[in-house]
Chains A and B, each alone.
Chain A
Amino acid sequence: MASLADGAKHGYAITRDVKEIAGVNLGPGTLYGALARLEQRGLIEPLASDDRRRPYRLTGAGADSLRAQLTEQERVAQIGLRRLLIAEGIA
């Protein structure tokens, strides 16, 4: 979902983007499994295309869900980093 945060992308572009931002090789089966689940939950939607490669974008609900997840991850990361700093300071 984070890959679609800056605009619509088709499958191949998502695969390349995920590799770039997370260093993960997303297999085609995993990618389309995730796209199908997100589409069913109304978090992403396909856009009309003349090309065989159909682009997807976040829906409003998808953007809200992504924002909530990233905020939570940020909060946990900040707590973890702060604790590490405190522990290192004590040591």
Chain B
Amino acid sequence: MRRALIALYPEAWRRRYAEEMDALLEEQPPRPRAVFDLLRGALLAHLREAPGLGRLECARNSVSGVLGSFLCFVFAAAAFSQSTEDPPFRAAGRGHTLMSVTRGAFLAAAIASVVALLVAAAPLAIRALAEAHRTRRRDLLRLIAAPPVAIGALALGLGLVALWQSSHHGPERPIGVILLILVGVAAVSAAIACWAAPRAIMRRFDVGRPALSLAVPAVGAVAALMWIATLSIAVYLVAILVDAPGLAASSDGPGGIGVTDVDIAVQLAAMAAFSMTAALSARRGLRALHAE
């Protein structure tokens, strides 16, 4: 169990402290309170700058950190879009300016954050392609191809589900639920591929300072846009509670098991948490580049 707890810490941290932490836990086996303390310590270690890291390694970790936070953010943002896309919400948006403006601001920030992420990814992908071409490394090519292939497969899955839904009206059928579960699995797989592949690429060869000099500020912009989207939803939640209380109290989610305002509050909390981790990661990277 103590090995599993130590494994939750970042790799750079484990390189430096795992052995002595393991020795401490051997002498002082963790009780429930110490387990909680270790979980909290692991979370903070991920948010702080790891000890003994080079500046460029810090910048690379910053890019991975923002990317991971952004991908988690996307799930919460997609859930918000799903909760507020039905015709009654569109009708309420037409009647209440604040609701339509904040939802529009959320969508604009979401689109801009994807653009900023592509700007961050471009120099790294170009460097990786050049390296793969120069060294004929197939592992790099496979890693470069993984995110677009995963996103393509997910888009195909979503397209098939939309096609199925358009031709099958009425109550949800078992096949529809199975399709949605499959799309969920595909979405999680795509997110893992999009996070793990760039991380592996940056570990397998030195992407260099020029590429990171563009990537780190771009992920800083991603983090800022995530905050704009989150704040837009916070205002949207207030607007729907004040202007459309009936809609806020309406049922939401699969089978109508949720309540819209509670669901939006949970989605908002998740987005705020991921925006915070993204901002902290971006700050680490910017400070590392600045100190170089």
Chain A: residues with CB nearer than 8 A to chain B?
Answer: 10-12, 15, 25, 27-33, 35-37, 39-40, 51-54
Q: Which of A12, A27, A37, A52 contacts B19 (CB 8 A)?
A: A52
List 27 interface pairs A-B (beta carbons < 8 Å), by A numbering: A10-B20, A10-B24, A12-B23, A12-B24, A27-B33, A27-B41, A28-B25, A28-B37, A28-B38, A28-B41, A29-B34, A29-B38, A29-B39, A29-B40, A29-B41, A30-B37, A31-B24, A36-B13, A36-B16, A36-B45, A36-B51, A37-B48, A40-B51, A52-B23, A53-B20, A53-B23, A54-B19
CB-based contact A39/B51 at 8 Å: yes
Expressed in whole angstroms, the minimum distance between the Cβ of A49 and any Cβ of chain B is 9
Expressed in whole angstroms, the minimum distance between the Cβ of A34 and any Cβ of chain B is 10
Judged by a CB distance under 8 angstroms, whether B114 is at the interface is: no
Interfacial residues of chain B within 17-57, with CB under 8 A of chain A in the complex:
17, 19-25, 27-28, 30, 33-34, 36-42, 44-45, 48-49, 51
Expressed in whole angstroms, the minimum distance between the Cβ of B31 and any Cβ of chain A is 10
Q: How far apart sit A73 and B36, CA to CA, in the bound complex (Å)?
A: 31
CB-based contact A54/B20 at 8 Å: yes
Q: Which residues of B contact A29 (CB under 8 A)?
A: 34, 37-42, 44
Give me the 4 closest cross-chain CB pairs, A-B, nearest first.
A29-B41, A27-B37, A52-B23, A29-B37
CB-based contact A52/B25 at 8 Å: no
**Residue of A25, A29, A35 with most partner-chain B CB within 10 A:** A29
Expressed in whole angstroms, the minimum distance between the Cβ of B179 and any Cβ of chain A is 43
**Residue of B20, B42, B44 with most partner-chain A CB within 10 A:** B20
A-B contact count (CB 8 A): 68
CB-based contact B42/A28 at 8 Å: no
Q: How far apart sit A44 and B33, CA to CA, in the bound complex (Å)?
A: 27
Q: Which residues of A contact B30 (CB under 8 A)?
A: 28
Q: How far apart sit A7 and B22, CA to CA, in the bound complex (Å)?
A: 23
CB-based contact A28/B23 at 8 Å: no
When C-beta atoms are compared, the residue in chain B nearest to A26 turns out to be: B37
Interfacial residues of chain B within 33-90, with CB under 8 A of chain A in the complex:
33-34, 36-42, 44-45, 48-49, 51
Q: How far apart sit A51 and B19, CA to CA, in the bound complex (Å)?
A: 10
Q: Which of B13, B16, B28, B44 contacts A28 (CB 8 A)?
A: B28
Q: How far apart sit A52 and B37, CA to CA, in the bound complex (Å)?
A: 22
Q: Which residues of B contact A12 (CB under 8 A)?
A: 23-24, 27-28
Q: Which residues of B contact A35 (CB under 8 A)?
A: 17
Q: Which residues of B contact A40 (CB under 8 A)?
A: 49, 51
CB-based contact B23/A32 at 8 Å: no
